[in-house]
Amino acid sequence: MASATLPTRRDEAWRYSDLDAAAQVWPVGAPERIVVAPGEVRTLALLQDGADGESIVRDHLVEIGAGGTLNVHLLNSGGTLGRVTFDVTLARHAHFELKAALIGGAAQTIELVTTLNHAEPEATSAQTVRAIAAGKATTNYLGQIRVARDAQKTDAAQSFKAMLLGRTATANAKPELEIFADDVKCAHGASIGQLDAAALFYMASRGIDPASAKALLLEAFIAGLFDDMADEAERERFATVARARLEALG
């Protein structure tokens, strides 16, 4: 069912969001439900490149059956608010993999919220998220991993890295582990940095103009996220949109 009540900053999942922008599309509809059957292998390519001034909220409720796999590629870069969420429940031997790029400029808020519910033993998950923020943009990644008491042999990992292109840009990261089993392997890492000044200087010394040098470094920062997409047309579409968004950052 759609939620009629606009969230507040007391809701941890909305703490860093743009609630004024969210109000423009509230109430949102029910989340998109994705069911991966036992033993099935599925892929999902999600390109969120909404127009300037739009507010986009896309929620996904995912169930992965025993031995099933879901591989997700996400490019989230459009709209005043671009919010994508995944609430994933994994059965025994299931696997969830997410590779995501968040790109924001001007006064955008671009965010990803994930909840991984390891409900049964021996399931695995891996999340790799890269964020780039310029201007007064905000990029957010809130990733929670929940491991149930009986979900022994869980193997879960999160990696978040953000690049800030100015003093007014913001990146927020909140990795969270909630573990009730005692035989698990869970890891998370988060880092936020800036473009390498030495690398920019070196490229300038080789005759590369500043804008091109910056674009090359930013493309390298998110390189590899989409290389394993099986659909060549989708892979090229993602690369084209990402390149255009990066060039627009100035």
Question: Which tens digits make up the pLDDT trace of 164-198?
Answer: 999 999 999 999 999 999 999 999 899 999 888 88
CA–CA gap between residue 8 and residue 189 (Å, rounded): 27
Query: Domain segments of the chain: what residues?
Result: 12-195
Please, are residues 168 and 198 in contact by the beta-carbon 8 Å criterion?
no
> What is the pLDDT at residue 250?
66
Are the CB atoms for 55 and 24 separated by under 8 Å? yes
Torsion angle defined by CA atoms of residues 165, 203, 243 and 97, in that order, rounded to the nearest 10 degrees: -80
Q: How large is the average pLDDT for residues 29-41?
A: 97
Residue 89: phi, psi to the nearest 5?
A: -120, 125
Query: What mean pLDDT value characterizes the chain?
Result: 94
pLDDT at 205: 87
- pLDDT of 58-99, one tens digit each? 999 999 999 999 999 999 999 999 999 999 999 999 999 999
Query: What's the pLDDT at 207?
Result: 87
Please determine, for residue 4, whether its predicted confidence score (pLDDT) is greater than 80: no
Residues 6+ apart with CB under 8 A from 202: none
The pLDDT of residue 85 is 98
Strand, coil or helix: what is 201?
A: helix
- Residue-level pLDDT at 27: 92
